[in-house]
Structure 1
C-alpha cells in the first residue's frame, strides 16, 4: 500500500463518515479497500461503547473469507458476571489496564500464551495479530464511550509487514473518528427515544425544538398507574421498590409499543401514552389491543413474582379520546415534548375512578363511540361519575368479561 492508496482510503473515510454511513458499512468498506490496495487483512473487529439503557456497546466484525452469521454484536456492562471473566482475559482489557495503545503478537512465531483468543486465531490459520485503542478526552466522553478499539489479523505468511502496520496506524484513527460520529448520532437517537418517547424523540431529532410550537391532534389517551402503590412503597424494602416499578412499567410500555402507541411520560407509577391514526377507529382498536396484551403480560408477571416470593399488584387504566396540543412546552432552559389539554386531565381522572368503580379499566363515552360497532358492543356501562376538575358527570364503560377478546389488527 503506497501513499496514494492511503490518501484515497482516508478521503473515502472522510466522505462516508460525513455522509453518515453505518458502522458496519464503514468497517467493511475500509477493509475491502485496504485489501484492494495490497494490505493482506483477513479479519477485523471494531468496538465502541455507547450510552444505552440496556447494553454498553457494540462490536462490528469483518471476515475476508467467510460470511458472518452475526456481523454486529451488542454487549452488556463489562462488570456483568456473565461477561466479566471473558472480558478480563481479553487483549483489550489488558490494553485498557496498561494504558498502552497497541498490542502485537506474531501468531506464527508462537506468541499466543497471553490470551486464549490468540491460540484460537492461530488454530484458524492466522499468522499475526494487531490491536489498537484510540482514547477520547475524558472531559468530552459520553458515558462509557471513552475510546475506539480495533483488532486486525492476517493469514499472510510472515504476518504484517512494517508498511502494513504503518498504514493501519495512519488510517485506523480516521476509521475510529467516522465510526464515533455515526455512533454519537445513534446515542442521540437512543436517548431522546428512551426519555421522550419514540414519536416525540423522532420529532425532536427532526428539529422540532422551538418553545411553544405545538400542533393540535386527535389522539387516544392512555393513563395507567399501579393499584395500591403508596401502600406498597411504604411496606416493602427500598431495594424491592425499584424492581417492582421496573417490572410493571415494562409490562405497560411493551404492551403500548407493541400495539403502535407512544409512551410520553412516566410519572412515578403513572404512565401517559397516546395512540394516533388517520382513522379514530384504528387508534381506538390499537389501544384495545394494548389493553388486551397488558392483561396477558400482567398475568405472567404476577405468576412469576408470586413464585419468587415477591409482592404483586395490578394496573388501573383509563382510556379516552380527544383533541390535545402536542409539542414543546416549558422554559427556554427546560422543555418537555408532551400533550396538554382538557382531554389529558380527563383521562387521568378516569383512571383514578377505577378504584371507586371496582374495575381495572375504564373507558370514556367518547372512546366507546369511536370504536367500530362490534368492538363497542364489548363495553358495558358502569354508570355516570363526576370527575374531579371536569364540569359535568360522564358515563364510563368497562369491558364485558364474557365478550372481551383480542381485537383484530
Structure 2
C-alpha cells in the first residue's frame, strides 16, 4: 500500500476508534464514512449498507449513498425479500451465504451474471465490490462500493477498504444492537416504558404514581371462537382485532402496556394535553371502523371499559422475571366496567369520574349507579353513544 493510502487508513481507523463516541446512528456513520473516502481522494460514486434489524414489520434496512446527493436514502426491506428470485440471483445472496467479497468490473458491452450490474452500468458505474459485515453470533450484513472512474478502483483502494471494514463492522454492531434493544422494548412494552427501562428502571418495585385515563378492551366470544376455528385463523382474527383498536390508540398518543390473551390494557397519562379527549377519539375511531366493515367479516366484537385515576406505573414480578405495567384501583375499575358491557348490553362503559374529567356527558348516556365487584360504593356508569348496537352482542 502506498504511503498515501497508509496515512488514509490510519486516519480512518483512528476516526472509527475514537471519533464516534457521541454518534448513535449507524446511518450517519456510514454517511460520514463515504464522505471521508471521497475527501481522501477515492472516486466513490455509490455505496450501500444492508442491515438486518429484525423489526416486527420488516427484515432490515438498506441505506443508499450517492455522490453529490445531500442525504443518504434509507429504505426498509420486507421479510420475504430473500425468497425472491431477484435476491437469489444477486451478489447479495452470494456474499451473505459465502462470507466472501464479490468484485465485478462493469463491462461496457456484453451481459453480466447479475442484473444489478446492468443497472449499475446504465447509471455510469465502472467497478463494483460487495463485502460481508460479520457481527457476533453469526449475524452477517453487507456493504457495497461502486466507482465511475474509467479504470475502476485502484488495488490500494480495495486493500484499504479491506483493512477498515473489520473496525467499521464492530462500530456498526454496537449501534445496531442498541437499536435492536430499543426496537424490541418498544415492541413489547411500549415507547414510554421502554425509555424508562433503558434509563435504568429495572429494579423490582421501582415505579412512579401517575394520573392517567385507563382503557381495557376484551374480545367477545373468544373462547368459543378458539375452540371452533383453526389455530392460524384464530391468530389472524386476534391480530386483526388488535390492529383495529391499537392503531387509533397509538395515533392519538396512548400507550399500550399489555396484550392479555384477547384483552388490551392502555393508558393516556394526564400530564399530556387533552389525554381524555384523545382516548375518546381513539375508542370512537375504533368502533366507527368496526361498524364500516362488511357483515361477512369474521364478526369481531369487543367491549371497552374506561376510567381515570391514579395508577402505579413500574416494575412488578418475581426476582428474575419482571413486568413493566400499571396497577391500582383505577385499572381494576376499568377492567370491571369492561366486564359489565356484557350484562348492560353496551359496547363501551365509562365511569362517572372520567365523564367529569373529559366533560363528555353529551356524548354518553347515563345508566345509573351500579355496584362494582370489589368496590364498596355505588358508582355512576355511562355508555358511549355509538351507532353500532351490534357491538354489544
TM-score, length-normalised on structure 1? 0.89
2:382 counterpart residue number: 397
Once residues 271 and 54 of structure 1 are traced to their aligned partners in structure 2, the CA distance between those partners, rounded to angstroms, is 20
Unaligned segments of structure 2, at least 5 residues: 388-393
Mapped pair 1:159 → 2:152 = yes
Cα distance, 1:183 vs structure 2: 1.6
Once residues 46 and 209 of structure 1 are traced to their aligned partners in structure 2, the CA distance between those partners, rounded to angstroms, is 34
2:58 counterpart residue number: 55
Deviations 1:26-47 (A, max 9, x none): 1111111111111211100011
1:43 counterpart residue number: 46
Mapped pair 1:343 → 2:330 = yes
1:379 counterpart residue number: 364
Q: Is the alpha carbon distance of 1:296 and 1:179 closer, same or farther for their aligned partners in structure 2, counting shifts above 3 Å?
A: farther
1:254-269 equivalences in 2 (<5 Å)? 254-269=247-262
- Aligned with 1:273 (options 266, 289, 294): 266
Cα distance, 1:80 vs structure 2: 6.8
Once residues 7 and 110 of structure 1 are traced to their aligned partners in structure 2, the CA distance between those partners, rounded to angstroms, is 38
Mapped pair 1:33 → 2:33 = no
Cα distance, 1:109 vs structure 2: 6.7
| 1:13–1:30 contact (8 Å) kept in structure 2 | no
Mapped pair 1:14 → 2:17 = yes
Cα distance, 1:296 vs structure 2: 2.6
Deviations 1:275-314 (A, max 9, x none): 01237x82211111111111233234x33xx5xx552222
1:165-204 equivalences in 2 (<5 Å)? 165-204=158-197
| 1:47–1:59 contact (8 Å) kept in structure 2 | yes
Secondary structure of 1:170's counterpart equals: helix
Deviates more, 1:188-197 or 1:172-181: 172-181
Q: What is the aligned-residue RMSD (CA, Å)?
A: 2.0
1:75 counterpart residue number: 77
| 1:101–1:134 contact (8 Å) kept in structure 2 | no
1:95 counterpart residue number: 95
Deviates more, 1:290-299 or 1:258-267: 290-299
Deviates more, 1:230-239 or 1:334-343: 230-239
Mapped pair 1:85 → 2:103 = no
1:139-158 equivalences in 2 (<5 Å)? 140-141=137-138, 146-158=139-151
Mapped pair 1:121 → 2:108 = no
Paired residues, number: 384
2:390 counterpart residue number: none
Cα distance, 1:173 vs structure 2: 2.5
| 1:17–1:181 contact (8 Å) kept in structure 2 | no
Once residues 61 and 303 of structure 2 are traced to their aligned partners in structure 1, the CA distance between those partners, rounded to angstroms, is 38
Cα distance, 1:64 vs structure 2: 0.8
Deviates more, 1:109-118 or 1:120-129: 109-118
Once residues 334 and 233 of structure 1 are traced to their aligned partners in structure 2, the CA distance between those partners, rounded to angstroms, is 28
Once residues 234 and 23 of structure 2 are traced to their aligned partners in structure 1, the CA distance between those partners, rounded to angstroms, is 42
Once residues 68 and 386 of structure 2 are traced to their aligned partners in structure 1, the CA distance between those partners, rounded to angstroms, is 59
1:197-346 equivalences in 2 (<5 Å)? 197-278=190-271, 282-300=274-292, 302-303=293-294, 306=295, 310-346=297-333
Secondary structure of 1:203's counterpart equals: helix
Mapped pair 1:3 → 2:6 = yes
Secondary structure of 2:54's counterpart equals: coil
Deviates more, 1:228-237 or 1:240-249: 228-237
Deviations 1:18-76 (A, max 9, x none): 323312211111111111111211100011101211111111111114467x7001101
Cα distance, 1:111 vs structure 2: 7.8
TM-score, length-normalised on structure 2? 0.92
Unaligned segments of structure 1, at least 5 residues: 403-409
Cα distance, 1:331 vs structure 2: 2.0
Secondary structure of 2:79's counterpart equals: coil
Once residues 16 and 284 of structure 1 are traced to their aligned partners in structure 2, the CA distance between those partners, rounded to angstroms, is 46
Secondary structure of 2:369's counterpart equals: strand
